[in-house]
């Protein structure tokens, strides 16, 4: 019952209480400050087995994708600090790996053979950012970036599937890391990605349309004021002194217009602030396959990693000096 153990650990870390009732059934007391996550409930009855859930229809069945589990994972991710997490994988295996690898590498011509298969640890660094636009007012939002430490690539698939990860805070496996990891390099890459996301949102076409609308409104308003004042200044029989007063007023109107236009530009194009809130490293068991691909007498080697969280592969092209290090 790994899922029940995980839920119990999370609830107790939140300051709640879990009371076992019978096999795969328990009562849970949720702290008041988290009630909003559970439709303002502070008392829940949870079941972790399908048959138990059927026998106790008043309970909420907890499984992957269920409402209660999704809310608990949201609380965990929003309140994380810098930490290590070790994923639990019930069964790390892949049926008919050559067929699945061939399907994954369908764009690589040639004959594929598997030289070696073994268990390794994958590592993902997760950086939580607070992004703010600072202008006449401050607008903030959170952004999470996942980086695969084995390839130093942004990993949107893991971000999307993160709620499928059950974990412990202590190491569960003795599998090796297949490559040297560089967290600093990953942090730099993640920060660059966070800034790109911030710039994309800052340059949102919908916002540009609002900016143009406000600019047009201000320019039209002051154009009418200037036109009216110029008509007054050009009246026949107007003294030179009065005419100069109107000209001075036109300059004042133009300065006020430019000031408001600048304020509008600042409002829509404020400075971006990107600050790190927390970081997590997930260690996840993977299957590593060293494969050879022969095509027209040429051979290249790759290392493919099967990720049980995303149910897919990612790869590393290896040089000759790395052959045999897998």
pLDDT means per 10 residues, the chain with 326 residues, are 79 90 93 91 93 92 86 76 82 91 88 93 92 70 92 94 88 91 90 88 66 84 86 80 83 89 73 82 95 87 94 76 46
Query: What pLDDT score was predicted for residue 268?
Result: 67
Please list, residue by residue across 109-136, b when 16 or more beta carbons sit within 10 angstroms of its beta carbon and e when fewer do: eeebeeeeeeebbbbbbbbbbebbbeee
Dihedral sign, Cα of residue 68, residue 69, residue 72, residue 77: negative
Sign of CA dihedral 208, 214, 217, 222: negative
Give the per-residue pLDDT at 320: 47
CA distance 102 to 93: 17
Contact 136, 267 (CB under 8 A): yes
User: Strand order in 60-61's β-sheet?
Assistant: 17-22, 25-29, 43-47, 60-61
**Element containing residue 10 per DSSP (H, E):** helix 2-13
pTM of the predicted structure, to 2 decimals: 0.61
Per-residue confidence (pLDDT) for residue 116, from 0 to 100: 92
CB atoms within 10 A of CB 4: 19
d(CA 105, CA 107): 5
């Amino acid at each position: 019952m790994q899922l029940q153990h995980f839920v119990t650990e999370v609830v107790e870390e939140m300051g709640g209480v879990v009371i076992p009732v019978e096999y795969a059934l328990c009562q849970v007391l949720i702290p008041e400050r988290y009630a909003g996550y559970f439709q303002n409930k502070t008392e829940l009855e949870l079941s972790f087995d399908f048959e138990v859930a059927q026998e106790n229809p008043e309970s909420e069945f907890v499984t992957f994708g269920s409402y209660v589990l999704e809310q608990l994972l949201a609380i965990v991710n929003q309140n994380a600090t810098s930490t290590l997490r070790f994923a639990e994988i019930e069964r790390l295996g892949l049926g008919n790996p050559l067929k699945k690898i061939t399907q994954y590498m369908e764009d690589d011509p040639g004959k594929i053979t598997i030289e070696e298969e073994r268990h390794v640890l994958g590592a993902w660094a997760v950086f939580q950012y607070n992004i703010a636009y600072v202008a006449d007012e401050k607008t903030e939002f959170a952004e999470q970036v996942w980086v695969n430490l084995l390839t130093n690539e942004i990993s949107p698939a893991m971000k999307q599937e993160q709620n499928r990860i059950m974990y412990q805070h202590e190491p569960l496996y003795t599998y090796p890391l297949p490559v040297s990891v560089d967290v600093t390099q990953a942090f730099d890459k993640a920060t660059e990605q966070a800034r790109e996301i911030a710039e994309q949102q800052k340059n949102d076409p919908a916002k540009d349309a609002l900016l143009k609308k406000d600019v047009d409104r201000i320019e039209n308003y002051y154009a009418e004021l200037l036109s009216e004042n110029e008509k007054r200044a050009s009246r026949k029989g107007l003294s030179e002194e009065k005419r100069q007063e109107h000209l001075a007023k036109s300059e004042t109107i133009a300065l006020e217009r430019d000031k408001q236009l600048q304020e509008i530009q600042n409002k829509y194009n404020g400075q971006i602030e990107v600050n790190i809130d927390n970081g997590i490293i997930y260690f996840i068991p993977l299957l590593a396959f060293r494969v050879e691909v022969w095509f027209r007498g040429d051979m290249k080697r790759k290392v493919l990693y099967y990720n049980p969280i995303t149910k897919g592969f990612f790869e590393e092209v290896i040089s000759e000096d790395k052959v045999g290090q897998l």
